Amino acid sequence: MNTESLYDSLVTLLRSHSPELHDGSVTPQPDSQLADLGIDSLELLSLAVDMENEYDMTIDDSMLTPARTVSDLVRAIAHAHQQAQE
Amino acid sequence: MTNQVVITGVGCVSPFGAGLDALWQGLFSGRTPQPPTCFDGTGFRTAGVYEVPDDGQDAGTRPVRLARAAAEQALQEAGLTRTQVSSAGLALASTSAGWHLPGQSLGGEPVHMTEVLRKEWPAVVLASELGLRGPSAVLSSACAASTGAVSWAVERIRSGESSVMLVGAVDVITEVVLAGFNSMRLLTQHRTRPFAEDRDGFILAEGAAFMVMEEAGHAAARSALARARVLGWGASSDSTHLTTPDPVGIARSLRAALADAGRSPGQISVFYAHGTASAVNDRAESDAVLDVFVQESAPVTTAAIKSALGHAEGAAGMFAIVAAVEGLNRGKVPPVLGVERPDPATAHLMLADHQTSHPHGDVMVHASGFGGTNCTVLLGPAPSQGRDAPVGHRVPTRTRPPGIPVAVAAATATEAEAVARGFHPEWSPEGGPVPATPPRSPRPDQSCLLLSAAVAALLGGLPMTERHKMLRGGLLTGTEHGGQRHHARMHAGLRKRGARGVDPLDFALSTYNAPAAMTSIMLGFHGQTEAFLGATAGVEALVTGAWLIASGRVGGIVCAGWDAPENRLWAAPGAPSVPARATALALCPVGTDWEGAGVSLAGIAGVRRLSFAAHPASPEAFEEIAGQFNPGEPDMLVATGLAGQEADTLSGAGWTVLPPEGGAAAPLGAHVATIERIAAGQARDAIVVSTAASGATIAVHYTVIAAGRYE
């Protein structure tokens, strides 16, 4: 999966977890704060389950816990992908 | 002045084996996590679990076997005669044991004995086998269930309802629960290391722990050896988030316990922490201790037994209490194992090591649970060992004068609407519901919405001062079926996708106290929240609240019953349907300035409880329990929970028997209807008795209160 399609699919997942994005009228940006999207610590864990299933990978706690922005989630996915290949 | 409570017997079955010696030694040695034996542990982010060594018998009856073994140890140590045991009450705490047993399918396979799949079942069996006739309840406020059960039992002794209470907790490791904690990333891949800088979660454990609590004079009269005293308890709701603990809420619980026991922070020698080794929990708990103990210059000696035992869910608090009792008697504090680098942010907690002797003083045991529920228990050395009052001395524990509990408002919420009625002299029918602010995550489910709607409606009509008393006093709830829909969803996810198939939002909403917690968040309850289980659990919430008012502990409290049909996964043949409904009542003492207000209210003049039983009480039992109030000929006799010929028998004897209905809201509805008739001047007194299969039987005597006094 290339970066662009990965980002698109991540946005789809974000919409299902974010009240702010749910109706599709707003598109999250890489620097969008997860808190501003209504994704708190518990919702982030729920999102992580969907991400692991969507991309069939295991996301490390060390990448997920500090995640604050959409970019952080992209990095967590990239890290998990790299870990899986090693 | 109130009765003093002592502990005269303790027992447990832990991952270290049966008995106190095995537990105590294990707390110093720890053990290596192992893969679960009851299910496939593949795919979970954890080093393993701590199971109780299995006896190879049927997994379905495991909670009962563990509870029975621990209870028998406690009773044996207490040395009670069979007659003395039969007068005892029972308080059982559990988060998971019961309905989702190891190997049991959820909704997929036919279940032949649905009673076994209830959290109340171990209580039903123990009450039957031991012949217990005292007050009984099953409490399930997540991982604070144990300290909640102890607190409830303390009040039964303080009130004089029972001189002896058997109090215990049992929880077993199940696939669904492990998957829930796994989804929340709360499990460690190493060891449980509370307050370590590199802590990363806990090992899930299981077991049962019980103790015999006794009125001190009763214990002294039979020359029983008191092992420790229960000095007091406190409870609070964080009122902030379902799964992120709040130091302010925890501190409120710690302070409430100190106040109840009449102790200052300086008198506490050891703090037994909840200590789950999650980054957020340990920090919040530590911050709370720092806040409460801020005036103390010395660090607080701290034990955190999950470092050795793991996290036994609802039983965790009872294991901590058992360890604290052992520590007081052995003069030692169990060490916090595996912490090479303590977290500098929690440095004011002096973690016990293998050489830590027990300092002189009292002990604080704290537990927190999902929902932001907190409950703290204070223990002291046995009277003969300590400096305090002799056994049997009655100590003041309440600051408010006793008051007659009266119902000042009631409300029922269905899927369609919430309707409130008020009896308070300043009730405002135009008040409308108070604003409720639901959290963004997780969104409240139907049970949460029903309960919060009912409570918001009754609060809205009350004057502001009474409303604030309710929010400070707390929210006690009862449910028969809890949030089992979420467990079923978790189980379905597990079957479909393995460990990755479980949504942590379901887990957060699955605890039986979740609607109470959600309502506390939405409406701002800072006081105690509690969840009782069983079809009559809403009535238990009511009578528990009534005593807290009568004893002067709180100035107002809301008591409720709720259930929703999607949470009943199995039903016995012919069982009545479960409506989506929540019914709530607001209680407070009679106002001193209500004289001449020209209102009539229903006051709770008396309460009687029969123990948990597999079957509903008989018509004869109804007559007997009603006769114990000795009110002459009450204007109303109301019964719930009976059907068929037994209902006809009672009807023939002059009782109003309400048609059977499932869930914990319906019995409370009968109380509301009775209260309304008394308030409307249609009756001067009434007795309402509620019974249920696998539940307690509870009778309440109402008397009209007019112009601020008994007529």
Nearest Cα residue to B408 out of B604, B585, B599, B544: B585
Pairing state of beta strands B474-479 and B557-563? parallel
Alpha-carbon distances, residue B554 vs B397, B414, B468, B609 (angstroms): 12, 29, 11, 22
If you count DSSP H runs as helices and E runs as strands, how many of each does chain A have, helices first? 4, 0
Residue A56 burial by Cβ neighbours in a 10 Å radius (0-12, 13-18, 19+)? exposed
How confident is the model at residue B114, as a pLDDT?
Answer: 67
**Cα–Cα dist A61/B186, whole Å:** 10
Q: How far apart are CA B639 and CA B703, in angstroms?
A: 17
- B508 touching chain A per CB within 8 A: yes
B33 with B51: CB under 8 angstroms? Answer: no
Distance, CA of B160 to CA of B171 (rounded, Å)? 30
Nearest CA in chain A to B441: A43
B497-510 confidence digits (pLDDT tens) = 999 999 999 999 99
How far, in Å, are B185, B196, B221, B281, B657 from residue A34 at the CA level?
19, 28, 63, 22, 55
Helix, strand, coil percentages (3-state) for chain A, rounded to 5, are 60, 0, 35
Asked if residues A81 and A57 have their Cβ atoms less than 8 Å apart, the reply is yes
Residues from chain B contacting residue A39 (CB–CB below 8 Å): 441
How far is CA B408 from its chain centroid? 25
**C-alpha B407, offset from chain centre:** 23
Q: Which residue bears the tokens 């609240």?
A: B545
Contact residues, chain A, for B505 at CB < 8 Å: 42-43, 46
Closest-CA distance, A86 to chain B, in angstroms, reads 19
Residue B310: what pLDDT?
Answer: 98
Please list the residues that pair with B685 across neighbouring strands.
B703
Q: Which residues of chain B have pLDDT under 70?
A: 1, 55-56, 59, 97-115, 295-297, 384-403, 596, 631, 707-711
How many whole angstroms separate alpha carbon A81 and alpha carbon B551? 61
Alpha-carbon torsion (B249, B440, B519, B178), positive or negative: negative
Q: Is B185 on the interface with A (CB under 8 A)?
A: yes
CA pair distance B561, B450, nearest whole angstrom: 10
What is the rounded CA–CA span in Å between residue B304 and residue B22?
17
Q: Could B183 and A49 be called an inter-chain contact, meaning their C-beta atoms sit closer than 8 Å?
A: yes
Mutate to test the interface with A, among B182, B241, B437, B440 (most CBs of A within 10 A): B440
Partner-chain residue, chosen from A19, A38, A45, that has the shortest CB–CB distance to B184: A45
Q: Under an 8 A CB cutoff, do A64 and B185 touch?
A: yes
Report chain B's terminal Cα–Cα distance, integer Å: 27
- List, in sequence order, the alpha helices (H) in B568-700: 619-627, 644-652, 665-679
Q: Distance (Å) from the C-alpha of residue B315 to the closest C-alpha of chain A?
A: 24
In 3D, which of B221, B232, B218 has the Cα closest to residue B87? Answer: B218
Q: How far is it, in rounded angstroms, from Cα A28 to Cα A41? A: 18
**DSSP letter for each residue of B373-391:** EEEEEEEEE-TTTSSSPPT
Among B45, B241, B504, whose Cβ lies nearest the Cβ of A46? B504
Strand ranges in B199-283 using DSSP code E only, listed in sequence order: 204-205, 207-215, 228-237, 268-272
B412: helix, coil or strand?
Answer: strand
Residues of chain A with pLDDT under 50: none
Place of tokens 């609802």: B314
